[in-house]
Structure 1
Amino acid sequence: MSTTTSTTADDACAPSTTLAIGDDAAAALATTLKALSDPLRLRMLSAIATDARGESCVCDLAELADVSQPTVSHHLKVLRDTGVLTSERRGTWVWYRITPALRPAVTTLLDSFAPAAIAPPTRSEHTGLENVDDALTHLADRLGQQHPTLDRSLIMTIVRESYTSLAKTARVKTHLLSLTDRFTRQRLADITRDRSQGQPQVLFVCVANAGRSQLAAALMNQRSGGSVIARSAGSTPAAEIHPHVQPLLDELNPDGDQETRFPKPLTDDAVRAADVVITMGCGDVCPIIPGVRYEDWNVGDPALASTDGVAAIRDDIARRVDNLLNTLTTTR
């Protein structure tokens, strides 16, 4: 007995109602992306974007690679001609800035794509829990006993959301339950925290939560001696701490629990629980909560830096942390 398949009117292909960008916009975007498809140009763009002055001179950018200054000027001209950069001559030198309207797009490009591009591939031998539902239910029951004032269904929801968020990027699935346990505990602490009581709490936020924000939180916790609680999170968390950053974290807290250092997703509750939120190259991703103080730190991305560059980024963050710590300890 043979089976035939018929095509009904409902199965027929129909034109999509989704509107693609127009020909002119696509051509303009393709020109810009082509201009950015050079490693040195991307490095120069990154250097300008993270320069504390908000601009860079040709003489600064010439130090990025072993090329002549005319070569650097050529690459900068390409970026300027496509509208990504603006320039201004002052005396002998020309200074370059990212075009203000394109700065959010440039920041997103550098912060989001660079970590993903250099991330090592996932290894197939890493497997997950055999029975996720039972494990998460058991975890929720245990946390419910420790938080009797919270609704059990709320705790179960947070446990499942935490597991799902971490599973999106986790490379070692066998550790997911313990990471979910730690992340859920942090979220429950955020929900129940009274900002009018206890030590001030600072939340550092970057894109991957694998470099800048982890370093900043570690520096704040070390230098405050426990007088300030520092946390970190990422708008698009990476799978693991950046390899150039991990040794610096070990130096700051050699006796620390390694399992507490993992990229964590940003949550609204973490922002609500904070007294101060520091964004570090992640754009306007944090909800605006009344009573929370916000600052944006324009610091370099360790994912785009050499070992020496990462050390310089750490020192830059340390100076900013010291300044912030002074304001927190003198106002309480």
Structure 2
Amino acid sequence: MTETPTTVETCAPAEAHAIGLDVATTVANTLKALADPLRLRMLSAIATDPRGESCVCDLAELADVSQPTISHHLKVLKDTGLLSSQRRGTWVYYRLVPTRQAAVTALLDGFASTVAADPAEDRPESPREVDSHVIDRLAEELADEYDTLSRDLVVTMVRESYAGLLRSAKIARHLVPLTERFARQRLTDLTRDRGTGVPQVLFVCVQNAGRSQLAAALVNQMADGKVVARSAGSRPAPDVHPHVRSLLTQIEGEDAATERFPKPLTDDAVRAADVVITMGCGDVCPIIPGVRYEDWAVGDPALASAEGVEAIRDDIAARVRTLLDSLTTH
């Protein structure tokens, strides 16, 4: 009887299969830097931003922490080689380093998705489900319409407008028309020669859901076309406050009031304005030479009763009259 030879398994040296020490050290340091929930969320926000980059002011919305804390976390991520940064005007923008993009995508889409127990059927409609081709087509259409501006500039501005509204939008189906309206206003701002024509006033508060919306509506009602007012927010809310929306309906009518929506503050809006009035949002506006700045200490309708909101409206109306006198007289 012939015996079958027994196969003897031999141990292979671990060194032959393991990554090198230098690479392991680099990866370990990177993972150590990412071992913080806020940093992971920052990285995710930057990686998924339709613009391909995120402003430090946008990232501050991820947590209720101070600006220096946000900057510290971004510096840690940058020191690992995952991010690069560029200062433009008053803000710093962060983007993924191209050579690390695939690794970050694998981490976020591969690993994170396996531990997120969030069934698709239980999720509310997400603005990110809007077909990106629709936004691209809108950008091309506006580039054809605003042919006096650089095509690349128009396309970039449309995508930035979409990204800005995306952060606060509640449902996807409204996002495209809002993007078109917001982008059109920004493109108009670019072509406006400040100091000529009808004076333009920009009201800025934090959420653009209350007092700034109310002030803009009162100016447009009382000025009779001699002054134009707009509003924006440093951290826009998903919608206008219900108490304020009822007042807007009284001022503008149902159709006009429903057209109002919170908009993010942009440098373009500030540059196009003759007067910028802040309302409880601090020093968030970039300082543009030639622009007149005021700060109105006005109550927040979101914290007031229905009667309190009406008192705030009366306070704003009195200030608006004084403002209009100064603008129309001169």
Distance in 2, Cα, partners of 1:197 & 1:297:
25
Distance in 1, Cα, partners of 2:125 & 2:256:
22
Task: Provide Cα deviations, 1:85-106, integer angstroms capped at 9, x if missing partner.
Answer: xxxxxxxxxxxxxxxxxxxxxx
Q: How many residues get paired? A: 224
Structure number with greater CO (CA < 8 Å, separation at least 6) is: 1
3-state SS of the aligned residue for 1:218?
A: helix
Does the 8 Å CA contact 1:127/1:174 hold for their aligned counterparts? no
3-state SS of the aligned residue for 2:232?
A: strand
Distance in 2, Cα, partners of 1:140 & 1:213:
29
| TM-score, normalisation: structure 2 | 0.63
Distance in 2, Cα, partners of 1:12 & 1:152:
44
Indicate whether 1:223 and 2:214 are aligned.
no
**Partner of 1:318 in structure 2?**
317
Distance in 2, Cα, partners of 1:320 & 1:274:
18
CA gap 1:142/1:258 in 2 versus in 1, 3 angstroms: farther
CA gap 1:223/1:172 in 2 versus in 1, 3 angstroms: same
CA positional deviation for 1:6: 6.1
CA gap 1:235/1:227 in 2 versus in 1, 3 angstroms: same
Q: List 4+ stretches of structure 1 deviating above 4 A.
A: 4-7, 13-18
User: Mapping of 1:89-104 within 5 angstroms?
Assistant: none
**Partner of 1:293 in structure 2?**
292
CA positional deviation for 1:128: 3.6
User: Mapping of 1:117-156 within 5 angstroms?
Assistant: 124-128=123-127, 132-156=131-155
Runs of 5+ in structure 2 lacking a partner?
1-13, 36-121
CA gap 1:313/1:149 in 2 versus in 1, 3 angstroms: same
Does the 8 Å CA contact 1:140/1:152 hold for their aligned counterparts? no
Does the 8 Å CA contact 1:179/1:259 hold for their aligned counterparts? no
Task: Provide Cα deviations, 1:260-290, integer angstroms capped at 9, x if missing partner.
Answer: 3000000011000000000000001111111
Distance in 2, Cα, partners of 1:127 & 1:15:
31
**Partner of 1:327 in structure 2?**
326
Highest Rg: 1 or 2?
2
**Partner of 2:5 in structure 1?**
none
User: Mapping of 1:163-178 within 5 angstroms?
Assistant: 163-178=162-177
**Partner of 2:180 in structure 1?**
181
| One-letter identity of the residue aligned with 1:141 | E
CA gap 1:9/1:293 in 2 versus in 1, 3 angstroms: closer
Distance in 1, Cα, partners of 2:127 & 2:238:
15
**Partner of 1:194 in structure 2?**
193
**Partner of 1:61 in structure 2?**
none
- Aligned-pair Cα RMSD in Å: 2.4
Distance in 2, Cα, partners of 1:17 & 1:179:
35
- % of aligned pairs identical? 58
3-state SS of the aligned residue for 2:242?
A: coil
Distance in 1, Cα, partners of 2:146 & 2:204:
27
Does the 8 Å CA contact 2:207/2:237 hold for their aligned counterparts? yes
CA positional deviation for 1:148: 1.1
| TM-score, normalisation: structure 1 | 0.63
User: Mapping of 1:195-274 within 5 angstroms?
Assistant: 195-254=194-253, 256-274=255-273
CA positional deviation for 1:10: 3.7
Runs of 5+ in structure 1 lacking a partner?
19-122
Distance in 1, Cα, partners of 2:135 & 2:33:
40
Task: Provide Cα deviations, 1:19-70, integer angstroms capped at 9, x if missing partner.
Answer: xxxxxxxxxxxxxxxxxxxxxxxxxxxxxxxxxxxxxxxxxxxxxxxxxxxx
3-state SS of the aligned residue for 2:243?
A: coil
Does the 8 Å CA contact 2:127/2:170 hold for their aligned counterparts? no
Does the 8 Å CA contact 2:127/2:166 hold for their aligned counterparts? no
Distance in 2, Cα, partners of 1:223 & 1:256:
18
Residues 253-262 or 228-237, more deviating: 253-262
3-state SS of the aligned residue for 1:257?
A: helix
Does the 8 Å CA contact 1:166/1:176 hold for their aligned counterparts? yes
3-state SS of the aligned residue for 2:311?
A: helix
